Amino acid sequence: MQGVNVSDDREIQHHISELIEEEHGLRTAVGSGSTPAAAEHDRLAKIEVELDRCWDLLRQRQARREFGSDPEAAHLRSADVVEGYLD
């Protein structure tokens, strides 16, 4: 999340929206066959991981706020941590 202010919910939500838009564009391109699928699938996988990390950060901030803690203390967790929740 380079260039994104991770201590501002609006910035995080904006970044999520940008990623979703990019994801939809890539899925459309892959589905239409207008772009090489291998490179697009790799980028889609990276977008999905980054989206998971962003949603996790946003949930951390909201939970901290809800329970009277400082949302600024929330931190962006690694992909390994976030992607390992269901394991």
Q: Which tokens belong to 53? A: 């990390």
Q: Domain map of the chain by residue range?
A: 9-83
Taking the C-alpha atoms of residue 68 and residue 56, their distance in angstroms, rounded to an integer, is 18
Q: What number of other Cβ atoms are within 10 A of residue 50's Cβ?
A: 20
Mean pLDDT score across all residues of the chain = 89
Q: What is residue 85's predicted lDDT score, i.e. its pLDDT?
A: 72
What digits encode the pLDDT tens for the residues 19-58?
999 999 998 888 777 667 787 889 999 999 999 999 999 9
pLDDT band at 3 (very low <50, low <70, confident <90, very high): low
Higher pLDDT, 36 or 62: 62
Q: Which tokens belong to 38? A: 């291998």
Please give the model's pTM, rounded to 2 decimal places: 0.84
